[in-house]
Amino acid sequence: MGKGGGCVPSKKRQLPTTTVAAAPSSSSATAVPRDAPEEALDASTGESRRTLRLYIVFYSMYGHVEALARHAAAGAGAVQGVEVVLRRVPETLSPEVLEKMQAPSKDPTVPVISAPADLEEADGVLFGFPTRYGAMAAQMKAFFDSTGSLWEKQRLAGKPAGFFVSTGTQGGGQETTAWTAITQLVHHGMLFIPIGYTFGSGMFNMDDIRGGSPYGAGVFAGDGSRQPSEAELALAEHQGKYMAAFVKKLGHA
């Protein structure tokens, strides 16, 4: 998230205290065994189909992106045959710097992704991150920069992927952050899946301030004291469900 122009983290804020806790989550969404996905019987054909995995990989400094991630996980978890894996990327700032920035402690129930190679297990990925000057935060960029071995062998090619973001203001980069992030997917040969206007009338509501765009869900964080609105959380949940359905369609094609 950002302050002012929507790009630079604020050092003076009221810390979010309820957003993440109030967001829906489950143990299956945060701690998934690393063994092979289970197979389920297709009721229409009687054939065995393996469970597909949607990874939701995010960075959240103050909790706003994490709230979207949890709601996206809830939406995706409602799609039968798709398993949700919720992971955060490694922090690059020292504890001392995070303390000065008044960043709250990370929720230990959401594991740090152990290695970029874990993405090979995914049938689709949703990436979430705050913006810094219209582009993804350095923590997420550092994670993408560590995927060179996957790029070299094109291990992620053909996997569907999408984005959700957080900005400080309405002009802070809700769309440009996604635009600039698409380059990461292109080099990996991944398929960018925007939500378009599939959220229906919720995309056209002008009565309330709402983050998000046709590129994906989003939240306006302000100086950090503003919590995600019900509309923003609902859009994140929709994106999770939409992406999971897409993963299922491609995985069983």
Give the model confidence (pLDDT) of 4-13 as tens digits. 344 444 444 4
Burial label for 204, CB within 10 Å (0-12, 13-18, 19+), is: exposed
DSSP-based three-state secondary structure for 244: helix
Q: What dihedral do alpha carbons 113, 117, 120, 121 form, nearest 10°?
A: -50
Asked whether residue 130 carries a pLDDT value surpassing 50, the answer given is yes
Highest mean pLDDT among 27-31, 42-46, 91-95, 221-225: 91-95
* pLDDT band at residue 48 under the 50/70/90 scheme: low
Rounded mean pLDDT of 132-138?
Answer: 93
Residue 16 half-sphere exposure, CB side, CA atoms within 13 Å? 27
Q: What is the DSSP letter of 3?
A: B
DSSP 8-state class, residue 90: P
Backbone angles phi, psi at 41, to 5 degrees: -90, 125
The mean pLDDT of the chain is 84
Report residue 227 as tokens: 């919590």
What integer pLDDT is reported at residue 23 of this predicted model?
A: 41
Single pTM value for the model: 0.82
List the domains of the chain with CATH numbers: 50-249 (3.40.50.360)
Tens digits of per-residue pLDDT, 163-214? 999 998 888 889 999 999 999 999 999 999 999 999 988 888 777 788 889 9
- Predicted confidence (pLDDT) at residue 19 exceeds the cutoff of 80: no
Q: What is the mean pLDDT of residues 216-233?
A: 90
Q: How confident is the model at residue 2 (pLDDT cuts 50, 70, 90)?
A: very low
Residue 38 has pLDDT above 50, yes or no: yes
What SS3 class is residue 83? strand
Percent of the chain residues past pLDDT 90, beyond the cut: 65
pLDDT confidence of residue 42: 55
Q: Would you say residue 20 has pLDDT above 90? A: no
Residue 229 is given by DSSP the state P
Of the two residues 185 and 48, the one the predictor is more confident about is 185
Rounded distance, CA 243 to CA 25, Å?
17
Q: Are strands 135-136 and 160-167 parallel, antiparallel or unpaired?
A: unpaired
